[in-house]
Amino acid sequence: MAFVPVLIRSCRPRQWSKNLLVYASAVFSFSLDPSVWLHSSLALLCFCLISSSIYLVNDVIDVEADRRHPSKCHRPIASGALPIPVALTAAVLLALASLSLAATLTATLVAVILTYALIQLAYCLRLKSQPLLDLFCIASGFLLRAVAGLVATGLGSSPWFLLCVGLLALFLAVEKRKGELRVSLDRGVITRQVLGRYSLPLLQRLESLVASSAFMAYALWSAGPTLKGAPTSWMLLTVPFVLVGIFRYQLLSDPEEAERRAGRHPDQSTERPEEILLGDRGIHLTLLGWMITVVMVGMGHRMGWFR
């Protein structure tokens, strides 16, 4: 029992906000079916369990590198607060619990969970040191969360929806690497091997390409049934919020803006997307406006006001 608090911290509960993507299919289909939301919630729990299992394994693999890192050295496994055998045992139990829970819903969800786990393990062991492949591994985690919501609920999906989720995930991955590289250059120490293969100009070009593609994919999905997209073309009303959100995130990732905010918001950095999601007021207001608009359009569509 003495290890429970540090074990919970090693599971990184703040990262669980990423798993909210499993609700995307329910939200975008305007579903009010309680079973859809229940199954989405169970899929959310599956991903909380499996992602925490992967975090524990990753910290065991990186324990020596983390001990040399200025901030990661304080992680429970790197600091010695959580013994490695305890961490590995917990990782196995969490993975088994995730797969067992997924099996109660559908075998396809088990396959999605296993695919996520295998990709993330490959990332931890090898692919995180491979330029470009590391970005796709990070992005795949977000995409598979959205897919998990689809298979758990049995809802159909537009190809534009999956393309948009994948591209937005790739955008966040590029921003994460850009934030890490900027911090490494400021400190004069490369904290991640793959950063030696990147440059800020390269990441900025990738950022521009992926951000533009993600926005266009969302706009095409929002155009409605004509393009096999959203249930109603009134979802175009949400497009400005997505554009503002992308602009806001790019502002936060700008080196000069990051330097201005460093004193007031030391914990918020684009190298940790979850911290931006949880801590930035501008992102909060954008998400709130987007959610209110989606709810209003969804209600109007179900009542026959919007076609």
Q: Report pLDDT digits (tens) over 73-98.
A: 778 888 878 888 988 999 999 999 99
pLDDT average, residue stretch 273-288: 81
pLDDT for res 2: 62
Whole-angstrom Cα distance, residue 218 to residue 163? 8
**Axis-axis angle for helices 34-61, 84-103 (nearest 10):** 160
> Is residue 131 predicted with pLDDT exceeding 80?
yes
More confident: 202 or 29: 202
Instruction: Band the pLDDT of 250: cuts 50, 70, 90.
Output: confident
Mean of the per-residue pLDDT values of the chain: 86
C-beta separation of 296 from 241 below 8 A:
no
Q: Which residues contact 217 (CB under 8 A, 6 or more apart)?
A: 160, 163, 164, 167
* Least confident among 124-128, 134-138, 212-216, 229-233: 229-233
Whole-angstrom Cα distance, residue 167 to residue 161? 10
C-beta separation of 279 from 265 below 8 A:
yes
Rounded percentage of the chain residues whose pLDDT exceeds 70: 92
pLDDT for res 206: 94
pLDDT for res 269: 57
Q: Which residues contact 110 (CB under 8 A, 6 or more apart)?
A: 99, 102, 103
> Is residue 13 predicted with pLDDT exceeding 80?
yes
**What DSSP string runs through the chain?**
-TTHHHHHHHT-GGGGGGGGGGGHHHHHTT---HHHHHHHHHHHHHHHHHHHHHHHHHHHHTHHHHHHSTTGGGSHHHHTSS-HHHHHHHHHHHHHHHHHHHHTT-HHHHHHHHHHHHHHHHHHHTGGGSTTHHHHHHHHHHHHHHHHHHHHHT----HHHHHHHHHHHHHHHHHHHHHHHHHHHHHT---SGGGGG--HHHHHHHHHHHHHHHHHHHHHHHT-GGGT-SS-GGGGGGHHHHHHHHHHHHHHHSHHHHHHHTTT-TT--TTSHHHHHHH-HHHHHHHHHHHHHHHHHHHHHHTTS--
Amino acid in the structure at residue 13: P
**Which residue matches tokens 């977000």?**
142
Whole-angstrom Cα distance, residue 116 to residue 55? 13
Amino acid in the structure at residue 124: C
> Is residue 121 predicted with pLDDT exceeding 80?
yes
Name which of 51, 63, 243 is nearest 145 in CA terms: 51
> Is residue 307 predicted with pLDDT exceeding 70?
no
pLDDT for res 44: 95
List pLDDT tens digits, range 151-203: 998 887 778 888 999 999 999 899 888 888 887 877 777 767 888 888 989 99
pLDDT for res 263: 58
pLDDT for res 265: 56
pLDDT average, residue stretch 195-213: 91
Instruction: Band the pLDDT of 116: cuts 50, 70, 90.
Output: very high
Name which of 182, 206, 180 is nearest 256 in CA terms: 182
Instruction: Band the pLDDT of 209: cuts 50, 70, 90.
Output: very high
Instruction: Band the pLDDT of 27: cuts 50, 70, 90.
Output: confident
Instruction: Band the pLDDT of 261: cuts 50, 70, 90.
Output: low
- Total Cβ atoms within 10 A of residue 267: 8
